[in-house]
């Protein structure tokens, strides 16, 4: 007697449902995708008891004939494809023909549908996958699907559903992702008979402000890029928007919501040190690519995709995000920077507040560019007698992509030597002695407690942490020097001997080549002892030994905690140990030089470790503090 037998369809459907229908949100997603594929221009979502009691999706799409309506709940019955080759030209969201069969097998399922040419709608009712009722009823053109008592006949699955707050959050995120992707559709949602939203306007910013908080869209950076292979458009968030969940990264491939590790990592890397530990940036990005170049048939829930040439997609995606991040003013306002939120703070999934919105509070206003902030500083930080002729730098002067020597040349600045900040920008005014304040002129740059630099900008003031500002300058300079092999060494008149401990010498050997590129010259001098014969021009005289030892310790600590790329790690350690310290008094020209060099970097707002460099305090904030408004 044979031991192997074919499973009944009812059992097979229940097993299949475990892959396709994991929770109420899975049902919502599948039904909404069907409604979109049917050409609906209006979709209504209704849920009760977080989808456990009722899920209903109503659309005004094309509707179905009786034959199609009966087939749609059969396994592997679909109108989207007819052969395997159709996957290469797939434009619909659904295609497998499994969803409705799986859903109907584990619920009390009702389907009501009507085509425009029909006078009556057709109603079909299923229990556990079996048809129990068919009738003609009155109804609007389109389709209405009701799913009651999900998993009623699979108690083990129903038992493992989470609390209503958690299940609602998953449902809300599924609806949100499609609502944002399809602005041309009117969306309405009810929860326990309460209307949550009704979007009739296709304006995407209105929807973003609802889901994430008032004026949220004002702080977003718009992205648009297109070539023959890939198109990218959408929004990314400012650093102030980053204390968020991974679910707030929305990636769409041909308007299909997807999860892709490569895109998420590339986005994270593009922000670089603007992110603190465990922070993730907000993003809503739409990628358009030829369907034959992406495989959507990877995951049962159709959430994962595989690119034909993942490297090419990354090489196009990463620079677009990186450039957008570098070209915008990310300095926080003082009113928002009071008590920093813990980077590892997590939203309690049981929080009932998630029943409404995932809120984000940000000061409203258009996102400014770095060029605008720097131009405001140049215009307002100097008195008339001190102002230079070229008050607004050219775009290429703020964000040069050439090497350090070319960058310094464009700013008329030579590489700094022993006296790091005493090398000053050469005056560009016709008056050769314009660096000296004329009689009666007051400089509009101050040093507070030998720690912070305060300067006047348009409509307020800018506060700069001098240590982390110099750290940012040295960090980028170190990376450029190592990557481009620009000479950056000066020989010591008296070489310095360093005796390294065993673990220090191992780290030293690991990074020796990059230390040489950075500007250090060494000569072996016995077991675990080296002579420092040359140093980078930024290293202060008399600190050679301590700097090397501190860099080795910092590199080791970063390697164990942060898993950084080698040169990035070395540049971080080097800049941290060489930057001017809090408590060090700076002259007026040293402060000006530091600010100008800071704004010549690619990312002036955060230090290499993620701390803010610049904080703004605007006049309107001061006016409110003093009760003037």
pLDDT, tens digit (0-9, with 9 covering 90-100), for 60-73:
999 999 999 999 88
Q: Do residues 559 and 619 both lie within one domain?
A: yes
More confident residue, 145 or 423: 145
**419 — pLDDT class (breaks 50, 70, 90):** very low
3 inside domain: no
360 inside domain: no
2 inside domain: no
Residue 80 is predicted with a pLDDT of 64
Q: Do residues 399 and 311 both lie within one domain?
A: no
Q: Do residues 501 and 545 both lie within one domain?
A: yes
| Domain region containing 106 | 9-197
Q: Do residues 192 and 212 both lie within one domain?
A: no
From CA 294, how far away is CA 9, in angstroms rounded? 32
pLDDT, tens digit (0-9, with 9 covering 90-100), for 84-121:
665 666 667 866 668 898 899 999 999 999 999 999 99
139 inside domain: yes
99 inside domain: yes
Q: Do residues 235 and 276 both lie within one domain?
A: yes
Q: What percent of the chain has pLDDT over 70?
A: 73
203 inside domain: no
- The partner residues of 235 in beta bridges, in order of sequence, read 222, 284
Residue 349 is predicted with a pLDDT of 40
More confident residue, 40 or 629: 40
The number of beta carbons lying within 10 Å of the beta carbon of residue 223 is: 18
Task: Evaluate if residue 458 carries a pLDDT over 60.
Answer: yes
Task: Evaluate if residue 276 carries a pLDDT over 70.
Answer: no
Task: Evaluate if residue 178 carries a pLDDT over 90.
Answer: yes
Q: What percent of the chain has pLDDT over 90?
A: 36
Average pLDDT, stretch 246-256? 87
Residue 397 is predicted with a pLDDT of 34
Identity of the highest mean pLDDT range in 251-260, 364-373, 620-629: 251-260
More confident residue, 559 or 264: 264
Task: Evaluate if residue 10 carries a pLDDT over 80.
Answer: no
**386 — pLDDT class (breaks 50, 70, 90):** very low
Boundary-marking domain end, from 298, 332, 355: 355
Task: Evaluate if residue 146 carries a pLDDT over 90.
Answer: yes
Q: Do residues 333 and 465 both lie within one domain?
A: no
Closest-CA residue to 405 (of 537, 603, 513): 537
The secondary structure of the chain in percent helix, strand, coil, rounded to multiples of 5, reads 40, 20, 40
From CA 262, how far away is CA 50, in angstroms rounded? 33
Average pLDDT, stretch 585-594? 91
Task: Evaluate if residue 442 carries a pLDDT over 80.
Answer: no
Choose the weakest-confidence range: 18-22, 341-345, 544-548, 558-562: 341-345
The alpha-carbon radius of gyration of the chain (Å, integer) is 31
Q: Do residues 238 and 161 both lie within one domain?
A: no
Tell me the CATH number at 256. 3.30.230.10
Residue 617 is predicted with a pLDDT of 86
Q: Do residues 35 and 130 both lie within one domain?
A: yes
121 inside domain: yes
Residue 248 is predicted with a pLDDT of 80
pLDDT, tens digit (0-9, with 9 covering 90-100), for 182-207:
999 999 999 999 999 999 999 999 99
45 inside domain: yes
Task: Evaluate if residue 13 carries a pLDDT over 80.
Answer: no
Tell me the CATH number at 91. 3.30.565.10
Residue 547 is predicted with a pLDDT of 86
Closest-CA residue to 543 (of 574, 517, 507, 587): 574
Contacts of 606 (CB under 8 A, 6+ apart): 239, 273, 274, 330, 472, 612, 613
Closest-CA residue to 548 (of 602, 507, 597): 507
Do the Cβ atoms of 358 and 175 come closer than 8 Å? no
How many domains are contained in the chain?
Answer: 3
**11 — pLDDT class (breaks 50, 70, 90):** low
Task: Evaluate if residue 234 carries a pLDDT over 90.
Answer: yes
Q: Do residues 160 and 240 both lie within one domain?
A: no
Do the Cβ atoms of 594 and 421 come closer than 8 Å? yes
Residue 583 is predicted with a pLDDT of 87
**231 — pLDDT class (breaks 50, 70, 90):** very high
More confident residue, 143 or 491: 143
Reduced to 3 states (helix: H, G, I; strand: E, B; else coil), residue 301 is coil
Q: Do residues 179 and 323 both lie within one domain?
A: no
Identity of the highest mean pLDDT range in 31-35, 91-95, 321-325, 410-414: 31-35
Do the Cβ atoms of 522 and 536 come closer than 8 Å? no
pLDDT, tens digit (0-9, with 9 covering 90-100), for 41-56:
999 999 999 999 999 9
Average pLDDT, stretch 143-170? 91
Do the Cβ atoms of 108 and 127 come closer than 8 Å? yes
Do the Cβ atoms of 240 and 365 come closer than 8 Å? no
Residue 422 is predicted with a pLDDT of 35
More confident residue, 160 or 296: 160
Residue 87 is predicted with a pLDDT of 61
Choose the weakest-confidence range: 43-47, 404-408, 602-606: 404-408
HEC profile of 18-76: HHHCCCHHHHHHHHHHHHHHCCCCEEEEEEEHHHCCEEEEEECCCCCCHHHHHHCCCCC
pTM for the complete prediction?
Answer: 0.59
Residue 404 is predicted with a pLDDT of 37
Do the Cβ atoms of 594 and 473 come closer than 8 Å? yes
Closest-CA residue to 482 (of 411, 573, 545): 573
Boundary-marking domain end, from 306, 325, 355: 355
Q: Do residues 152 and 270 both lie within one domain?
A: no
Boundary-marking domain end, from 176, 197, 218: 197
Residue 157 is predicted with a pLDDT of 85
Q: Do residues 513 and 549 both lie within one domain?
A: yes
From CA 108, how far away is CA 155, in angstroms rounded? 14
From CA 418, how far away is CA 492, in angstroms rounded? 12
CA 429 to the chain's CA centroid: 42
Closest-CA residue to 546 (of 569, 576, 566): 576
Residue 14 is predicted with a pLDDT of 55
From CA 428, how far away is CA 384, in angstroms rounded? 15
Choose the weakest-confidence range: 108-112, 243-247, 565-569: 243-247
Closest-CA residue to 142 (of 40, 45, 240): 40
From CA 56, how far away is CA 59, in angstroms rounded? 10
Reduced to 3 states (helix: H, G, I; strand: E, B; else coil), residue 150 is coil
Residue 487 is predicted with a pLDDT of 66
Reduced to 3 states (helix: H, G, I; strand: E, B; else coil), residue 340 is coil
What value does the mean pLDDT of the chain take? Answer: 79
More confident residue, 52 or 423: 52
The number of beta carbons lying within 10 Å of the beta carbon of residue 3 is: 4
Task: Evaluate if residue 169 carries a pLDDT over 60.
Answer: yes
Residue 242 is predicted with a pLDDT of 59
Contacts of 404 (CB under 8 A, 6+ apart): 415, 477, 480, 481, 484, 486, 488
Residue 618 is predicted with a pLDDT of 85
Residue 489 is predicted with a pLDDT of 84
Residue 338 is predicted with a pLDDT of 42
């Amino acid at each position: 007697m044979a031991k192997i037998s074919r499973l009944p369809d009812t059992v097979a459907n229940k097993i299949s449902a475990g892959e396709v229908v994991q929770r109420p949100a899975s049902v919502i997603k599948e039904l909404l995708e069907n409604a979109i594929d049917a050409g609906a221009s209006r979709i209504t979502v209704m849920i009760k008891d977080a989808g456990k009691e009722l899920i209903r999706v109503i659309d005004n799409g094309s509707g179905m004939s009786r034959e199609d309506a009966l087939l749609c709940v059969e396994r592997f019955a679909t109108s989207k494809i007819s052969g395997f080759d159709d996957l290469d030209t797939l434009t619909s969201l659904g295609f497998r023909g499994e969803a409705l069969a799986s859903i109907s097998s584990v619920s009390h399922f009702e389907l009501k549908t009507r085509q425009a040419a029909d006078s009556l709608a057709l109603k079909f009712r299923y229990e556990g996958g079996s048809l129990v009722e068919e009738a003609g009823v009155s109804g609007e053109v389109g389709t209405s699907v009701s799913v009651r008592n999900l998993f009623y006949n699979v108690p083990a699955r129903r038992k493992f559903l989470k609390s209503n707050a958690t299940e609602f959050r998953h449902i809300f995120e599924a609806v949100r992702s499609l609502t944002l992707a399809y602005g041309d559709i009117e969306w309405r949602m009810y929860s326990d008979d309460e209307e949550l939203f009704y979007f009739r306007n296709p304006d995407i910013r209105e929807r973003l402000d609802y889901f994430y908080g008032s004026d949220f869209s004002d702080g977003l950076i718009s992205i648009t890029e297109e070539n023959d292979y890939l198109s990218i458009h959408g929004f990314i968030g400012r650093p102030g928007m980053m204390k968020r969940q991974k679910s707030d990264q929305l990636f769409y491939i041909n308007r299909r919501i997807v999860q892709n590790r490569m895109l998420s990592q590339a986005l994270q890397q593009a922000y670089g040190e603007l992110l603190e530990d465990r922070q993730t940036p907000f993003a809503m990005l739409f990628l358009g690519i030829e369907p034959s170049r992406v495989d959507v048939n990877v995951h049962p829930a159709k959430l994962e995709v595989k690119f034909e040439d993942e490297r090419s997609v990354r090489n196009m995606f990463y620079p677009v995000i990186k450039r957008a991040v570098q070209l915008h003013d990310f300095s926080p306002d003082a009113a928002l920077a009071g008590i920093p939120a813990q980077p590892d703070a997590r939203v309690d999934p049981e929080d009932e507040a998630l029943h409404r919105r995932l809120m984000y509070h940000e000061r409203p206003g258009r996102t400014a560019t770095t060029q605008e902030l720097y131009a405001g500083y140049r215009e307002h930080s100097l008195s008339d007698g001190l102002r230079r002729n070229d008050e607004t730098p050219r775009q290429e002067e703020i964000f040069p992509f050439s090497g350090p020597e070319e960058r310094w040349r464009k700013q008329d600045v030579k590489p700094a030597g022993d006296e790091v900040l005493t090398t000053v920008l050469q005056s560009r005014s016709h008056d050769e002695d314009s660096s000296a304040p004329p009689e009666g002129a007051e400089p509009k740059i101050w040093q507070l407690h030998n720690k912070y630099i305060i300067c006047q900008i348009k409509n307020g003031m800018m506060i700069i942490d001098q240590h982390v500002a110099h750290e940012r300058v040295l960090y980028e300079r170190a990376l450029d020097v190592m990557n481009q092999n620009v000479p950056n060494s000066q020989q010591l008149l008296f070489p310095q001997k360093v005796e390294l401990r065993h673990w220090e010498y191992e780290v030293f050997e690991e990074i020796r080549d990059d230390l040489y590129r950075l500007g250090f010259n060494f000569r072996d001098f016995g077991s675990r002892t080296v002579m420092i014969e040359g140093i980078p021009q930024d290293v202060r005289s008399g600190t050679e030994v301590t700097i090397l030892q501190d860099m080795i310790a910092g590199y080791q600590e970063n390697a164990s905690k942060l898993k950084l790329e080698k040169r990035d790690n070395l540049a971080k350690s080097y800049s941290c140990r060489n930057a001017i310290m809090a408590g060090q008094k700076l002259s007026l020209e040293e402060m000006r030089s530091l600010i100008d060099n800071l704004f010549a970097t690619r990312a002036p707002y955060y230090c290499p470790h993620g701390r803010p460099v610049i904080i703004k305090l605007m006049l309107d904030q001061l006016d409110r503090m003093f009760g003037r408004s």
